[in-house]
């Protein structure tokens, strides 16, 4: 366990030292600043618009962190062949995968916490400017939605690690992870649309079956999306939160186990 | 200072001057171009949900901003909206509320524009029904529906039903049950309309919408004054007056109230007081 933790700490430190995070921070600050400017354009629901923009800014920034910084952390060892050095130490391949994942997760958690501080400050600022338009706003629901952005990123990081273990190029891992994310966030609406039967006669049975299979292989990211609830301060049923957490935990375990399996069989020249 | 530097500064200054002039022209050109664009196109909701990539709230904000910019620009320059423009507005508001059915602003805009300005009551009511279904804590949705049924559709019983629903919701004003009862008895009267409008004005914070509602209230107050004269006329002579002139000639109205939209007061065959302006501001053709 100590070995895994040591690798996690090294990975985390490498992530924090990456200069790309300044660019991502600047992007997040730009979106949050934009929020202050745009909020006043709306008639009544300034609070809702503020929450929408803040949570979306957190998601976009989190995605950039995973797609670029986390990918770099994962691919660097393999691309630069330093992985040979790591494996000369008493560290199994499975431990390597888990250590890397924990390091990436710590990095994402800390980065997101910093962004959440800026985000909360923006909400406070806009609330100070338009105090009458935040009637439905609730901090607990806002932070719950923020926490589930983190859960989404945790799942995505696991998927990224899986693809890094099966592909030889980091660019291919990036493309596959982006595709998995895009499918994951859209699959629910596509599946329900097809099931609705409204003008779906043209869709072939094969496509419908493929969709069904994909919807069970890839995670349904909508399960971890509570942005709409946060925007209107709606109460989220505890069972829904429990199911969402359980779904994420099981998915991460399966994907990481699969990643370990693939990594065991991988050859490094 | 070397000549090269002076030359460069001169080029920068001349360029900046040229850019400022051009920039003004560019913005003016864009304004004209945008006003000439007939209508926009809104993707079907099934597609929008997928296109939102998990950011339905943000995408709804963006679409709504597009819709109000389109509508606001035409309002600002007092340009008349074509049937296609109104179709675009309805489709836009539908798309926004399909993405985020809890979003209040599109419902308020629908109530403020689709009914008074273009008399598309069915569209406005369909949107408000969606709002009533999702915003279960909000008394304003059934209140607006009640107003539309009372004032525009003359369905007083349905209007009273919506008002009773509004009165059962948290935070609703105390006068709602009274208004519902009054609606059942004296539906077709301007005074009932004034009561309704006062409720809407009190819950409206948007300055422009508020000003336009105040203007409508003033028009209804004028109509209510004439209705009072008509009542006295009926009591004395046992029949309804044929026109406004008959009322003024008989001394049932001292001076005719001002019609804030610039039209002439008329008595409709149904016996209701209305105006030639139809209570809508005159627009450029």
Instruction: Identify the closest residue of chain A to B44 by CA–CA distance.
Output: A193
Mean pLDDT of chain A: 88
**CB-based contact A225 B64, cutoff 8 Å:** no
Contact A230, A145 (CB under 8 A): yes
Mutant choice from A32, A35, A42 vs B, greatest count of B C-beta within 10 A: A42
Which residues in chain A are contacts of B65 at CB distance < 8 A? 38, 41-42
Q: Is residue B129 part of a domain?
A: no
Out of A43, A185, A231, the one facing B206 most closely (by C-beta) is A43
Q: Report chain B's terminal Cα–Cα distance, integer Å.
A: 60
At residue B88, does pLDDT exceed 70? yes
Interface of B with A in 177-236 (CB under 8 A): 205-206, 209
pLDDT tens digit string along A61-85?
A: 999 999 989 998 888 888 777 787 7
| Mean pLDDT calculated for residue range B117-144 | 91
Contact A34, A132 (CB under 8 A): no
Instruction: Identify the closest residue of chain B to A39 by CA–CA distance.
Output: B61
Q: Is residue B71 part of a domain?
A: no
Pairing of strands B273-275, B265-267: antiparallel
**CB-based contact B109 A55, cutoff 8 Å:** no
Which residues in chain A are contacts of B60 at CB distance < 8 A? 52
Q: B119: left (phi > 0), else alpha (psi -120 to 50), else beta? A: left
Out of A45, A51, A231, the one facing B105 most closely (by C-beta) is A45
At residue A85, the pLDDT reads 79
Q: How far apart are CA B225 and CA A251, in angstroms?
A: 71
**CB-based contact B109 A227, cutoff 8 Å:** no
Residues of chain A under the 50 pLDDT cut: none
**CB-based contact B105 A42, cutoff 8 Å:** yes
**CB-based contact A186 B209, cutoff 8 Å:** no
Structural domain including B199 reads: 188-285
Q: Is residue B89 part of a domain?
A: no
Q: Is residue B9 part of a domain?
A: no
At residue B285, does pLDDT exceed 70? no
Out of B46, B61, B206, the one facing A52 most closely (by C-beta) is B61
Instruction: Identify the closest residue of chain B to A54 by CA–CA distance.
Output: B58
**CB-based contact B57 A52, cutoff 8 Å:** yes
Place of tokens 């179709």: B87
Q: Is residue B59 part of a domain?
A: no
At residue B35, does pLDDT exceed 70? no
Domain boundaries along the sequence of chain A: 2-264
pLDDT tens digit string along B178-190?
A: 676 666 555 556 7
At residue B86, does pLDDT exceed 50? yes
**Residues B245, B248, B249, B252: is their CA dihedral positive or negative?**
positive
pLDDT tens digit string along A96-118?
A: 999 999 999 999 999 999 999 99
At residue B28, does pLDDT exceed 70? yes
Residues facing residue B284 across a β-bridge: B79
**CB-based contact A51 B57, cutoff 8 Å:** yes
Question: How many structural domains compose chain B?
Answer: 1
**CB-based contact A55 B57, cutoff 8 Å:** yes
């Amino acid at each position: 366990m100590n070995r895994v933790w040591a690798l996690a700490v090294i990975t985390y430190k490498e992530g924090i030292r990456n200069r790309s995070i300044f660019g991502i921070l600047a992007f997040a600050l730009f979106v949050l600043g934009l929020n202050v400017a745009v909020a006043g354009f709306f008639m009544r629901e300034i609070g809702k618009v503020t929450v929408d923009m803040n949570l979306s800014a957190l998601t976009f920034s989190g995605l950039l962190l995973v797609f670029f910084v986390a990918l770099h952390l994962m691919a660097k060892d393999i691309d630069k062949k330093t992985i040979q050095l790591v494996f000369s130490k008493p560290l199994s391949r499975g431990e390597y995968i888990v250590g890397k994942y924990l390091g990436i997760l710590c990095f994402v958690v800390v980065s997101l916490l910093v962004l959440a501080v800026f985000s909360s400050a923006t909400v406070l600022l806009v609330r100070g400017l338009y105090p009458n338009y935040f009637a439905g706003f609730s901090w607990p629901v806002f932070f719950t939605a923020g926490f589930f952005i983190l859960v989404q990123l945790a799942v995505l990081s696991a998927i990224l690690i899986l693809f890094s273990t099966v592909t030889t190029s980091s660019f291919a891992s990036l493309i596959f992870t982006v595709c998995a994310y895009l499918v994951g966030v859209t699959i629910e609406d596509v599946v329900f649309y097809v099931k609705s039967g409204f003008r779906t006669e043209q869709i072939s049975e094969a496509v419908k079956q493929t969709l069904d299979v994909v919807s069970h292989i890839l995670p349904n990211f909508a399960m971890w999306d509570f942005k709409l609830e946060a925007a209107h301060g709606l109460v989220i049923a505890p069972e829904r939160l429990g199911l969402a957490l359980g779904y994420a935990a099981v998915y991460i375990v399966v994907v990481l186990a699969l990643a370990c399996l693939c990594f065991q069989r991988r050859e490094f020249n | 200072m070397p000549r090269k530097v002076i030359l460069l500064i001169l080029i920068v200054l001349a360029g900046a001057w040229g850019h400022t002039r051009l920039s003004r022209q560019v913005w003016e050109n864009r304004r004209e171009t945008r006003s000439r664009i007939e209508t926009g196109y809104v993707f079907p909701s099934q597609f929008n949900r997928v296109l939102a990539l998990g950011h339905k709230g943000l995408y709804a904000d963006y679409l709504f901003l597009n819709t109000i910019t389109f509508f606001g620009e035409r309002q600002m320059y007092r340009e008349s909206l074509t049937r296609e423009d109104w179709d675009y507005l309805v489709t836009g508001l539908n798309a926004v509320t399909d993405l985020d059915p809890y979003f209040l602003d599109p419902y308020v805009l629908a109530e403020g524009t689709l009914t008074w300005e273009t008399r598309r009551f069915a569209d406005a009511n369909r949107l408000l029904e969606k709002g009533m279904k999702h915003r279960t804590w909000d008394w304003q949705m059934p209140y607006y529906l009640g107003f539309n049924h009372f004032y525009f559709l003359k369905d007083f019983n349905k209007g009273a039903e919506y008002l009773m629903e509004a009165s059962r919701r948290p935070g609703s004003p105390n006068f709602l049950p009274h208004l519902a009862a009054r609606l059942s008895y004296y539906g077709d009267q301007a005074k009932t309309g004034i009561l309704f409008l006062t409720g809407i004005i009190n819950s409206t914070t948007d300055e422009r919408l508020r000003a336009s509602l105040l203007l409508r209230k003033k028009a209804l107050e004028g109509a209510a004054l004439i209705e009072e004269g008509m009542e006295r006329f009926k009591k004395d002579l046992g029949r309804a007056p044929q026109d406004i002139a008959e009322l003024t000639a008989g001394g049932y109205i001292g001076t005719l109230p001002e019609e804030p939209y610039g039209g002439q007061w008329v008595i409709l065959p149904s016996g209701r007081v209305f105006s030639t302006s139809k209570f809508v501001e005159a627009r450029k053709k």
